[in-house]
């Protein structure tokens, strides 16, 4: 992971900038809010220790909170997602475990594996974020609709990013 530290720093800065400058300004009738910045946590190496996942989740979320003026909502949702990540990875682990040095990317483990892995993390993040934002069950169905719509749009962006990032990763290896 140390050898790839510049790449992870670049990914962090790039995803935060895309989120803050472009995606935070996209809002379709108040229901669809794409959050591509969570791709940073999703694509961290398998060997990332749990404590580091939580710290990076907090830093990622609090950075978005600072730019979005959302008082810790993104930080808490991203830490929750980072906390769940090892459990989800264990649930989807292949029989022969994950290959050393591989990353949780679509071109390493296939579309089906990546889709199932990332959709669970995206849904966990969005459910936590939107229900903390509303902080009430009186708007349960409208909040659930926001979770679903935003998760679909976020997953489309994540899959597009994976397709475009595939060529770059092959060139680096």
Q: What is the mean pLDDT of the chain?
A: 90
Residues paired with residue 28 on neighbouring β-strands, in sequence order? 32
- Measured between alpha carbons, how far is 8 from 15 in angstroms, rounded to an integer? 10
Q: What is the pLDDT of residues 66-123, one digit of tens each?
A: 999 998 999 999 999 999 999 999 998 887 788 777 889 999 899 999 999 999 999 9
Angle of CA points 68, 73, 76, to nearest 5°? 130
Q: What is the pLDDT of residues 37-59, one digit of tens each?
A: 999 999 999 999 999 999 999 99
Q: Percentage of the chain surpassing pLDDT 90?
A: 71
Angle of CA points 33, 145, 67, to nearest 5°? 20
The pLDDT of residue 20 is 94
Q: Is the pLDDT confidence value at 145 over 70?
A: yes
Token pair 């679509």: residue: 106
Determine if the pTM surpasses 0.85.
Answer: yes
- Going by pLDDT thresholds of 50, 70 and 90, the confidence category of residue 2 is low
Crossing angle, helix 5-21 and helix 50-68, to 10 degrees? 30
- Dihedral angle computed from the Cα positions of residues 131, 60, 37 and 141, in that order, rounded to the nearest 10 degrees: 0
The domain spans of the chain are 2-17+37-172
CB 145 within 8 A of CB 26: no
């Amino acid at each position: 992971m140390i050898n790839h530290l510049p790449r992870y720093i670049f990914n962090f800065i790039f995803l935060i900038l895309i989120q803050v400058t472009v995606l935070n300004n996209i809002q379709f009738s108040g229901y669809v809010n794409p959050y591509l910045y969570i791709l940073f946590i999703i694509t961290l190496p398998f060997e990332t220790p749990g404590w580091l996942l939580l710290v990076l989740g907090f830093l990622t979320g609090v950075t978005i909170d600072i730019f979005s003026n959302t008082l810790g909502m993104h930080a808490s949702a991203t830490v929750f997602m980072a906390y769940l990540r090892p459990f989800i990875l264990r649930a989807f682990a292949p029989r022969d475990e994950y290959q050393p040095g591989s990353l949780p990317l679509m071109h390493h483990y296939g579309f089906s594996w990546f889709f199932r892995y990332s959709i669970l993390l995206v849904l966990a993040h969005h459910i936590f974020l939107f229900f903390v934002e509303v902080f009430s069950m009186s708007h349960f169905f409208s909040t659930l609709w926001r979770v679903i719509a935003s998760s679909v749009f976020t997953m489309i962006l994540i899959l597009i990013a994976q397709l475009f990032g595939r060529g770059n990763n092959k060139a680096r290896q």
